[in-house]
Amino acid sequence: MKALIIIGSGRKKGNTSMVASLLKRNIEKKASEDGKNVEVEKLFLADYNLKHCLGCRNCMDRGEDKCPLTDELYKIKSKIDAADVIIFGSPVYVDNVSSMMKALIDRLAYICHRQEFYMKSAFVYSTSGGSSTKKTNNTIVGALLSWGFNFLGRSGFIISHHDTKEETEKKYKSSLAKISKKVYRSMKQKSFRRPSIISLAIFKLQQRERANPEKAHPLDYKYWKERGWDNPKINYYSEHQTGIPKLILSRILYRTISLLFVKN
């Protein structure tokens, strides 16, 4: 079992890294208490050559292999591919994600159309010295849901510049324990087989666009059709163990979002 914590901060002794270390220790402790082995890796985006998106749309319209940028994006993606659960952490910079986290989101934008991560789960957290973490978390969550992740939840950590690691751990002891338990349980039980209500609803929203040859880009439609996702009877990317009540609630959510936010 493997968890990957992607840190969108260049400060290896900063608050986002500190929370990552606390989560790592708690997840490893949960596994040890259960007599299991788990690997938790911290990945600093600042350690990788990650260029910013040019907006050329080659990845969207011609395929991701046609991206003109040469860097280490796929070294990062290979780490994501190898993990069961990915935790995304970003500091709040000017009321939103850091530039390096945004660069990762933008460079993987093609996955919003051709989902790859539906057999993985993800958790999101952000850190701030005092301002709200809501918009930062929302930015990351929006991408993860579009990429097909089973969404486990989000959390915000308000940490002042003088708070020590010990003080932070004490302040957020309950939150850290809950997050770690949720992440470990997801790895152990493969929770992508029990997708959340919002993940199920997002699939139907995607299906509405990507599986329609009149609306979808030909590359996206081909991708969806090859996987059988164009079948209207399909309600998720992969086989799952979701109960009828949850499916009903997800369909209600899908219809609500469609009425309120999606243009016909």
**Mean per-residue pLDDT, 30-43:** 95
Q: Residue 191's pLDDT is what?
A: 86
> Structural domain boundaries of the chain?
2-190, 197-261
- What is 197-249 written as a DSSP string? HHHHHHHHHHHHHHT-TTTS-HHHHHHHHHTTTT-TT--SSS-----HHHHHH
Q: What is the mean pLDDT of residues 19-30?
A: 96
- The residues that bridge with 86 in the sheet, in sequence order, are 4, 122
Q: Across the strands, what pairs with 39?
A: 2
- pLDDT confidence of residue 264: 54
The pLDDT assigned to 249 comes to 95
For 44-66, write each residue's pLDDT tens digit: 999 999 999 999 999 999 999 99
Residue 261: predicted pLDDT? 67
**2-190 has which fold?**
Rossmann fold (3.40.50)
Q: What is the pLDDT of residues 60-113, one digit of tens each?
A: 999 999 999 999 999 999 999 999 999 999 999 999 999 999 999 999 999 999
